[in-house]
Amino acid sequence: MPRLAVAGQGERCRKGWASLKARPGAPLKVVVVIRPTVARPSGAGRGWDESLSRPLTLTPVETALAPLLAAIGKAAPQRVPVEQAAGKVLAESLIVPGPVPPRAIALRDGWAVSSDSTAGASAYTPALLLEPPLWVAAGEALPEGADALLPGDALSEAPGGFEVTTAIGPGENVRRIGEDAPEGKVLAPEGARLSAVGAAAAASAGIATCLVRRPRLCILAGEAAAALAACFERLAAARGAEVVAQPLRPHDLAAAGAGEVIVSVGPNAASLREWTRRASFAAPALALRPGEGVGCFVVDGRPVLIVPPRLDAALAAGLVLLQPCLERATGVKEGRAVRRAPLARKIASHLGLTELVLLRQAGGALEPLGVGAFDLAALAAAECWLAVPPESEGFAPGELVDAVPL
């Protein structure tokens, strides 16, 4: 018969032990932990939140994330100069307005000629041109009638004209009309995150502005949490969000303005009570590790993330909760870039918890730096991450995993 152990405090625990019927010496199979409640302090006035005296239920990450995403719509499109659109998600496709280049251009310095005029030319049987061709520098447009560029040493003056000693074909040493991009070519589709090179390509095609979706993230933080707030700013900016930092003011979400997502770093008890009262959805504790102190609410139709003033838990909240919210608001259609590689050693995880794993490249493998808890050295050395789902106990050494670059 399996033994049952009950650990905890108070009368319920003592009654549990008294009613325990177990055969001595049997192996321990089940452990029940009775979480003690927080007693109402003597003299506590009307400000005491009775919910603080009840045990917190850990909400699964997927359960908490669903109402957050449901509360987010796509951010309104904004027109910006295409040079400023790098890193942001397009709200319209980038379409080339006309052929690029619009005229044939020289790829090197040389003589602009018609390729037909050089047919059969060689050092022994040069072709004779009656008129001198135009000298064109690299990048300049070829004149009308020219379709090739003759090297500078392939032309010499001769009695009655100019001798060509090299035959060249059409398009040689030139970029033809529309060769870089034909008119109507889609450079980047709607919903794509525009890269820096993509923005430069669009500018080269003559596209001056474009529509992007740039959700507004409001970060509420006190001075003591300034470093963590800056971390969230960089994380959000990398996902194409506009970041507004505001001081944390209890009982007031108006400071968040029209932000699609709100992150509160190190909120006080008054803020938590107010948001819990107004929330249409509340998950004050999540089955996330690291994630002690991380919670989420939907208040006035907007997701509110509660983040403790601790870097590892804040990072977990940013990667597991904030990034999906920003991706929903931007309408990005592409999947996250992943790095697939075998594990250098095993990852052991707890069932029932979503656990963050930080990793770095070690040869051709990924080396775990920590699971569910990280010191500062691991945080500084991390190159990518993955989340072990709650139904998994981890991964074996050598197993292929998909990690997301940080």
pLDDT for 308-327, tens place per residue?
888 899 899 999 999 999 99
In terms of domains, do 314 and 241 share one?
yes
Mean predicted lDDT score pLDDT of the chain: 81
Whether the predicted pLDDT of 43 surpasses 60: no
Of 53-57, 275-279, 382-386, 389-393, give the lowest mean pLDDT range: 53-57
In angstroms, the Cα distances linking 73 to 37, 50, 61, 193, 259 are: 39, 34, 20, 18, 12
Question: For the residues 184-198, what does the mean pLDDT come to?
Answer: 94
Q: 239 with 228, same domain?
A: yes
How far the first Cα of the chain sits from its last, in Å, is 49
- Where in the sequence is the domain holding 292, given as residue range(s)? 56-74+214-330
Q: Is residue 66 part of a domain?
A: yes
Lowest mean pLDDT across 40-54, 194-208, 381-395: 40-54
Distance from C-alpha of 265 to C-alpha of 267, rounded to nearest angstrom: 6
Q: Is the pLDDT of residue 127 over 50?
A: yes
The residue length of the chain stands at 406
Q: What pLDDT was estimated at residue 56? A: 65
pLDDT of res. 254: 53
- Residue 17, pLDDT > 60, answer no
Do 122 and 70 share a structural domain? no
> Among 250-259, 368-377, 391-400, which stretch is predicted with the lowest mean pLDDT?
250-259
Whether residue 294 is predicted with pLDDT greater than 60 in this model: the reply is yes
220 and 200 in a common domain: no
Angle at 33 between CA 31 and CA 37, to 5 degrees: 175
- 50 within domain boundaries: no
Together in a domain, 232 and 202: no
Look at residue 45 and tell me if it is in a domain. Answer: no
Q: Across residues 157-174, what is the average pLDDT?
A: 87
With respect to residue 118, please indicate whether it lies within any of the assigned structural domains.
yes
Single pTM value for the model = 0.73
The pLDDT of 341-367, averaged and rounded, is 93
What is the mean predicted confidence (pLDDT) over 356-374? 93
Indicate if the pLDDT at residue 181 is higher than 60.
yes
Note whether 195 and 237 are same-domain residues. Answer: no
Percent residues over pLDDT 70 in the chain: 82
CA separation, residue 80 to residues 87, 89, 91, 200 (Å):
12, 12, 11, 14
Q: What is the pLDDT of residue 10?
A: 43
How far apart CA 376 and CA 382 sit, in angstroms, is: 10
Q: Are residues 238 and 298 in the same domain?
A: yes
* pLDDT exceeds cutoff 90 at 259: no
Among candidate residues 91, 77, 73, the one with its CA nearest the CA of residue 326: 73
Whether 1 has a pLDDT exceeding 80, the answer reads no
How many domains are contained in the chain?
5
